[in-house]
Amino acid sequence: MKKFCLLLFMGVIAHLTAFSQDVPQTQQIVISKIGATWCPNCGTTAWDNFTTLHNEFNDKAVILSLHPSRSSRLHSPESIELAENLPQSFGQPLFYVNRTKYATGSIVQNARQAIEDGNAAAPLANTGINATIKDGMLQVDAKVKFFQEGNGDYFLSLLIVEDGVIEVQSQRGSDANHKKLVRTAMMEGTFGQAIGSGAIAAESEFTFSDAKAIEEDWNTENLEVAAIIWQKVGDNYEVVNGNSVDASFSTSVNFLEQSGVALEIAPTLVKASATITLTTPVDFDKANVGVFNTAGQQVNTIFSGILKSGTHNYTIQRADLKASGIYFLRMEANGSVLSKKLIVE
């Protein structure tokens, strides 16, 4: 499956309000099932119990179906990494609540108890998510808020989940309906990007954004985004909290795109210098063009002020970007953004 990620951007300054989504002050567990399409036992009692989990707890927990086996027809590399984070994860079917393993016959009862305990707990932090589909891209904006003071190494995963994949399953036939299948991950991989390290004050907020091209075999009507906050303890990622939302089709209009504004940079691999070409058929009373790093910080200002219609050329020097790596050229005006990725050697 060909995968690529576009428009990686994260802002971590609490007072910036780039995204307005609410952060629910609730505690949710993560329920994981390890299975495989060829696994006979996965299609019997384990299948029925996972269906019960889905039907009873769909809006009360983050539910994930993992296929780490490379010979499963629904395998994903992200499933391998998520499974490797779980104790005693060899084989299938297996069930977990957060990182605690339960027998197939007791998973529903234990998940129910964990959800009840979570409802009574005050969350440390949670994530608000906005997921929209437009022009073959899934755009996700997320905001993490700490309700209490935290201390540790925290990370945010954004997982793309498809709820209802029709595929073969041993003991279920060729058209089994696979629930909550983990398709892939956004941002920097399965366990995402760092939120912060060390002491994090209560009421701190962190914003993240990413977009990914939708694969041809994904059903856009059934896509979800699951956000999981992890705390890394030793070599393991422990679940702090989870949240998930359905992806919706965007009806918003990017004013810059609609107006015919074009932003280009060449070469995109910057060794010495690069030329930026900005073409706009309209005037802007206020526009900003800058280079941002992957932490969401503007590291270079290309232009800021009144922008007249026409074609404008700018030059950026390699020396202006001290560290090598990935950067983003962004134009912001009238509440809309255009972005281009560049790589600095």
Q: pTM for the whole thing?
A: 0.72
Q: What is the sign of the dihedral through the CA atoms of 37, 41, 45 and 49? A: negative
Contacts of 255 (CB under 8 A, 6+ apart): 333, 334, 335, 336
For residue 238, the one-letter residue type is E
Domain 255-344: CATH architecture, name and number where available? Sandwich (2.60)
- Which runs of consecutive H residues, i.e. helices, occur in the chain? 45-57, 77-84, 107-119, 255-258
At 206 the pLDDT is 92
Where along the chain do its domains lie?
5-249, 255-344
At 136 the pLDDT is 83
SS3 100: strand
Q: pLDDT tens digit string along 298-325?
A: 899 999 999 999 999 999 999 988 888 8
Q: pLDDT tens digit string along 100-127?
A: 999 999 999 999 999 999 999 999 999 9
- Which runs of consecutive H residues, i.e. helices, occur in 120-260? 255-258
The torsion of the CA quartet 160, 165, 243, 336, rounded to 10 degrees, works out to 40
Question: What is the CATH topology of the domain spanning 5-249?
Answer: Immunoglobulin-like (2.60.40)
Nearest to 60 by CA among 119, 20, 129: 119
- Asked, colleague to colleague, whether 5-249 and 255-344 share their fold, the answer is yes
Low-confidence ranges of the chain (pLDDT < 50): 1-19
At 15 the pLDDT is 31
Question: Is the bond preceding residue 267 a cis peptide, omega within 30 degrees?
Answer: yes
For residues 100 and 54, what is the distance between their CA atoms, to the nearest angstrom? 18
At 327 the pLDDT is 86
For residues 181 and 111, what is the distance between their CA atoms, to the nearest angstrom? 19
For residues 177 and 179, what is the distance between their CA atoms, to the nearest angstrom? 6
Query: In this structure, what token pair is assigned to residue 58?
Result: 């769909």
Local structure of residue 42 (DSSP, 8 states): G
